[in-house]
Structure formats: C-alpha cells, structure tokens
Amino acid sequence: ATPTAIMVGSGVGLNRGILFKSAAVLESIAHLQAIGFDKTGTLTKGAPEVTDIIPYASLNRKEVLTITAAGENPSIHPLAQAVVSQAKKENLQIQGVSNYREESGYGVVCTYEGKSLLIGNIKLMQKYDVDVQETEQDFQSLAEAGKTTSFIALDGRVIGLLALADVLKESTKEAIARLQKLGLKTFMITGDNKKVANVVGQEVGIDEIIAEILPQDKINIIKKYQAQGLKVAMVGDGINDAPALAQADIGIAIGSGTDVAKETGDIVLVRNDLLDVERAIRLGRKTLRKIK
C-alpha cells in the first residue's frame, strides 16, 4: 500500500505543477546526486533569433537568407523556425525544396533549384566534404560570442554563415545555484558547438559542460555518471532527449516540451519552471523523512 506521506507528497507536488508519475519517483528523487540538462529549450528559451548573416561566393545577405529559409522551412527544429520567421519578417518568398532530409544532430540536406543544399553545423560540412576554410575567422568570432552558427552550402560550396542566439530562461541561473546548494553535481549536454556551449554554460554557472554530442549519444553521458555510482536525473524537452530521460534514474520533462519527452519522463514540470526541479527534490526529501 502507498504510504499516506507519498500520497500527500504527490498531491502537494501536483498543486505546485510538479507531476510525479509514480510514488517511487517521489522517494528516489530524495537520493539524487547528479543532474543533467539539455541546453536548447531547457536551459535556454529555445526560441533563438537570427543575429548575423554572412554571405560568401558573391551572394548577398538576402539571397543567403532566402535560400536558407527554403531549406529550413520543412523542419520543426527551433533553429529552422527562427530562420523562417526572419525571412517572413523581411517579406522574402519561401520556395519549395525537394529530396528533403533531416540529419539529426547535423542539419538538413535537400535540393534547391536543382542544386544540392546543405544547412547545418560544421560536422555536416565535414561529412559532405565542404571546404570551410574561408569561413574560419567569422565562425570563430560568432562562436566566441556564444552564437550557434549554421553553415550553408550550395553544390558543395559555402555560400553563407547564419548565426543565431538564444537567451537563458529567467530562472535558469537561480535553479542551478539552488541545486548546487543541495549538493548536486550539475551538467549540461548539448549537440551544439563546444565554444558556444562553454559561453552558455559559464553564464549559467553549471559544473560540467558536455558539447558536440549526437542525439543518440546523450544516453552514454548518463551511463557514464551512473557507472560512477551516482543517482542521475536528466532534464529535457525534445524528441532527442527521450532516450536520455529514459536512461536516467529520474527523467524530468519540461511541460512545454514534446509529447515524447513528457511520456518518457518520470516527472513533468507543468509550469516549465526549472526552479521546480529543486522544489521536487526538497519535497521528496521531506516525504522520505515522514515515511521513516
């Protein structure tokens, strides 16, 4: 039978917008030792904005944006949506593309006006043997500014860099500080570039920054912590995060996140407030004290 304390604890949680999917979670969260966060959409608002467009190969800024928006239009990735809204804001015509395919953790691949179009990170360029030497300096300074940068290549040649910046959620810094105060080790896992991740991670004050991780490899980071004997939670919002949420001792989904994340998570933060992670742990600890 479920002890009354757990029923009360779950009820209190629910009132505060913290949905515990099982009684066991309320107990196990009391013993948590490490907690990982996805970057985009979890620590940050996940609503990036286009900040810079640098054209190459004798194209202009508008042409680069037009082509990029065409390629990103079919994608639901937050970076893609930011590009499309920028193009709409500038009243650009968004054309259709064919042979569209998304490469998770890399970017998009398609055909635009009969030409092969690649939009994504440097790994995507390397995968398709695109020479990015010309962009090196621009890329470094954008990354140092903490901006996520997409490379755009047409028929194997770089035609532009497009940079996007995302801001932290209001409560991110405070939430991490409180978790550290409870004695937890905090870390961030992201598919984004290392430099960008370092800028964001340092701003947050998180203990460890793990970047350039492919979606399918996020799970291995969780396993690594578990192999050290730590009880680990993972907080995420995206489709990509579901396997890591499932692997973690406790998966925590952001309420505004994807259905997959919410179905996988053991806890759902209904109010989308990262401060609720710390509240959940304190509630768990309090509940446990009452049971004992």
Tell me phi and psi for residue 82, to 5 degrees. -65, -40
Out of 9, 48, 191, 238, name the contact with Mg ion by CB under 5 A.
238
Size of the site for Mg ion (CB under 5 A): 4
Q: From the candidates 38, 237, 249, 276, which is the catalytic residue?
A: 38
223 vs 290, beta carbon nearer ligand ADP:
223
- Cβ-closest residue to ligand ADP? 191
Q: Is 220 exposed, middle or buried (0-12, 13-18, 19+ CB in 10 A)?
A: middle
Q: How far is the CB of 119 from ligand ADP (least distance, A)?
A: 5
Q: Are 251 and 265 in contact (CB under 8 A)?
A: yes
Q: How far is the CB of 106 from ligand ADP (least distance, A)?
A: 6
Identify whether 38 is a catalytic site residue.
yes
Tell me phi and psi for residue 79, to 5 degrees. -65, -40
Neighbours of 79 (CB within 10 A): 24
For residues 217 and 211, give the distance between their C-alpha atoms in angstroms, rounded to a whole number. 11
| Residue 161, beta-bridge partner list | 54, 151
Q: How far is the CB of 260 from ligand ADP (least distance, A)?
A: 13
Residue 120 partner contact from Mg ion, ligand ADP, none using kind-dependent CB cut-offs of 5 to 8 Å? ligand ADP
Q: How far is the CB of 138 from ligand ADP (least distance, A)?
A: 16
Q: How far is the CB of 41 from Mg ion (least distance, A)?
A: 4
27 vs 237, beta carbon nearer ligand ADP:
237
Nearest Cα neighbor of 210 from 228, 198, 223, 225 is: 198
| Residue 148, beta-bridge partner list | 164
Q: Which residues of the chain form contacts with ligand ADP (CB under 6 A)? A: 38-40, 72, 75, 77, 79-80, 105-108, 119-121, 148, 150, 190-192, 215, 238, 240
For residues 290 and 202, give the distance between their C-alpha atoms in angstroms, rounded to a whole number. 38
Q: How far is the CB of 148 from ligand ADP (least distance, A)?
A: 5
13 vs 265, beta carbon nearer ligand ADP:
265
Residue 191 partner contact from Mg ion, ligand ADP, none using kind-dependent CB cut-offs of 5 to 8 Å? ligand ADP
Window 16-45: contact mask with Mg ion (x via CB under 5 A): ----------------------x-xx----
Q: Hey, CA dihedral for 229, 230, 233, 234, is it positive or negative? A: negative
10 vs 190, beta carbon nearer ligand ADP:
190
DSSP string, 193-241: -HHHHHHHHHHHT-SEEE-S--GGGHHHHHHHHHHTT--EEEEE-SGGG
Residue 190 partner contact from ligand ADP, Mg ion, none using kind-dependent CB cut-offs of 5 to 8 Å? ligand ADP
13 vs 238, beta carbon nearer Mg ion:
238
169 vs 279, beta carbon nearer ligand ADP:
169
HEC string of 59-118 equals CCHHHHHHHHHHHHCCCCCHHHHHHHHHHHHCCCCCCCCEEEEEECCCEEEEEECCEEEE
- Asked if 146 interacts with Mg ion (CB under 5 A), we say no
> Annotated active-site positions, please?
38
